[in-house]
Amino acid sequence: MIAIRELHGIGEFEQVMALFEDIWHFDPGGQPITVELMLALSHAGNYTAGAFVGDRLVGASVAFFAAGSALHSHITGVSGAPGAGLALKLHQRQWALDRGLGRITWTFDPLVRRNAHFNLAKLGAMPEEYLPAFYGIMDDSINRGDESDRVLAVWPLTAPHVEALVRRGTGPAVPAVPTTLTAPAVPTALTVPAALPDGAVVALADEGGRPAYRPHQGAPTVLVAVPEDVEGLRRVDPGTAKAWRHAVRDVLGGMLAEGRKITGFHDKSFYVVESA
């Protein structure tokens, strides 16, 4: 069983830093957060929580209050515990609702399929902005050498589609996520509908592992592919990984800049983008 609880002490945050280091293997000076900053954020009333299996820390999340009655989730990491990521986000959602907040925002790498599927299909977050090279060049072991393009996700906490997904993930009661959450080790599976709107066309395809542009002018609904495993690709073929980065930036980023909306993630492979 996975238990979620808030963290407050310096010893707890040292455990969190050790967990994050084990996940990302940061270069010296490249940590996105520190023990001292987590302690300060916690003391100031922000969100700092950990996921535990017994006494073992398996995940953690740090978020701070943002403009517009929102919470911004700065970093979340999970290692070796299926279901811990979902449990942390549901705990974070209830924490925000208890404080009168209506949205949680965070950024994610649009090239990572599992993150896109989790954020869009399991949580119901809505991508709103493409942010090229948001953090500059990354130097951790997962992102090393890559430009840090990110998509800003907005999670409308009480939207009907979000409440429906929460019901499917936790049981019949939508808000029944207490401050200390106990979740099954493996959450209820949530699926992406197979059907697509009529007339959908592929704007960016995966052709033999490389990005391939396709004509899509005038199509109200388009699909934008992302690579199967960009993290592995960065290690074995950084040139192709960079080609995917630039292609997705051009196509997906360009469409968002034009005012189109990402409305789903199809078949764990394609962003679904529709005219506004």
Higher pLDDT: 170 or 111? It is: 111
Buried b (16+ CB within 10 A) or exposed e, 79-88: eebebbbbbb
Please count the other Cβ atoms lying within 10 Å of the Cβ belonging to residue 180: 11
Which range is least confidently modeled, 33-37, 76-80, 102-106, 133-137? Answer: 133-137
Rg of the Cα atoms in the chain = 19
Per-residue pLDDT of 14-64, as tens digits, reads 999 999 999 988 877 778 899 999 999 999 999 999 999 999 999 999 999
CATH number of the structural domain spanning residue 83: 3.40.630.30
User: Are 52 and 174 members of one domain?
Assistant: yes
In a domain, 20, yes or no: yes
User: Are 170 and 252 members of one domain?
Assistant: no
In a domain, 167, yes or no: yes
User: Are 213 and 165 members of one domain?
Assistant: no
User: Are 164 and 250 members of one domain?
Assistant: no
In a domain, 39, yes or no: yes
User: Are 213 and 175 members of one domain?
Assistant: no
In a domain, 19, yes or no: yes
In a domain, 246, yes or no: yes
pTM, to two decimals: 0.86
Percent of the chain with pLDDT over 90: 72
Q: How many domains does the chain have?
A: 2
In angstroms, the CA 77 to CA 237 distance is 25
In a domain, 28, yes or no: yes
- pLDDT for residue 187: 30
- pLDDT for residue 145: 59
User: Are 82 and 210 members of one domain?
Assistant: no
User: Are 214 and 98 members of one domain?
Assistant: no
Q: What domain range is 71 assigned to?
A: 2-102+157-183
In a domain, 43, yes or no: yes
User: Are 167 and 228 members of one domain?
Assistant: no
In a domain, 108, yes or no: no
User: Are 223 and 260 members of one domain?
Assistant: yes
User: Are 265 and 174 members of one domain?
Assistant: no
Per-residue pLDDT of 128-166, as tens digits, reads 999 999 987 666 545 555 688 999 999 999 999 999 999
Per-residue pLDDT of 220-244, as tens digits, reads 999 999 999 998 998 899 999 999 9
Contacts 24+ apart (CB under 8 A), 12-18: 12/50, 13/38, 13/39, 13/42, 13/48, 15/50, 15/57, 16/48, 16/50, 16/57, 16/60, 16/62
